[in-house]
Structure 1
């Protein structure tokens, strides 16, 4: 499972180094002393071992969204939920699962990617009584 943490952490943080204003890859939102990192990618980027370990389906028509919550730089448990909408406002519920490792907590969910299109994500992150909402658009592509 250590490789999973390394992969997900790399997926979350590597793109940040490329540009301050991230267009693709990892993004983040700050809510006081809480920072929520999020990214989405096609599940074909997962190795078969990591897909198996996380119980994710590796398919060109499946996307993955990865959320991590940090408070004062340390992993924070949260309740994460959300939806993804297409251009016709058809909505799909995202079913997040928590993955906990030695020094990391991640929330992952899968969603269908049937064709190239821009989708709107709405993610709620609840810590204690406080609910923070993140909205973003992402152009998605089926894998190869």
Structure 2
């Protein structure tokens, strides 16, 4: 009985994650001005201690990482990236997004609190020059072990 309960709970918790992924499995958004934004949000405990240290991140079961890469006309692009994350209770937090450059690659990283399992809504603005593109997506996240 205990195994069945665990299985049912696992399946129920997986449904929001599958639904979020089904909406945009490629985790990218291409805009009419030739800007393509690749994005992902994960719990930081999934990253190795070496990775988090190298990126200047904190590894924790209650912290998530938003990862953004921006391309313009197929080439890596510098941008001003800002945004917010909202949990299921409606608590909205501003994201402190930092640009990281390593060996010619540019990525934008932000950490945020994952206080409980649920679907988190991200609103991200990507500005190149005077053009601002807005990206909205949901991600099911669960505090790590």
CA distance in 2, matches of 1:99, 1:31: 23
Q: Do residues 85 (structure 1) and 86 (structure 2) align?
A: yes
Any stretches of 5+ residues in structure 2 without a counterpart? Answer: 1-19
**Structure 1, 22-31 or 39-48: larger mean CA deviation:** 22-31
Pairwise CA RMSD of aligned residues? 1.8
State the match for 1:57 in structure 2.
Answer: 58
Q: How many residues align?
A: 124
Any stretches of 5+ residues in structure 1 without a counterpart? Answer: 1-20
More helix by share: 2
Runs of 4 or more consecutive aligned structure 1 residues displaced over 2 Å after TM superposition: 21-26
CA distance in 1, matches of 2:88, 2:116: 12
Structure number with the bigger relative contact order (C-alpha 8 A, sep ≥ 6) is 2
CA distance in 2, matches of 1:134, 1:43: 22
Q: Are the counterparts in 2 of residues 25 and 39 from structure 1 also a CA contact under 8 Å?
A: no
Larger Rg: 1 or 2?
2
1:40-119 equivalences under 5 Å are 40-119=41-120
CA distance in 2, matches of 1:80, 1:26: 20
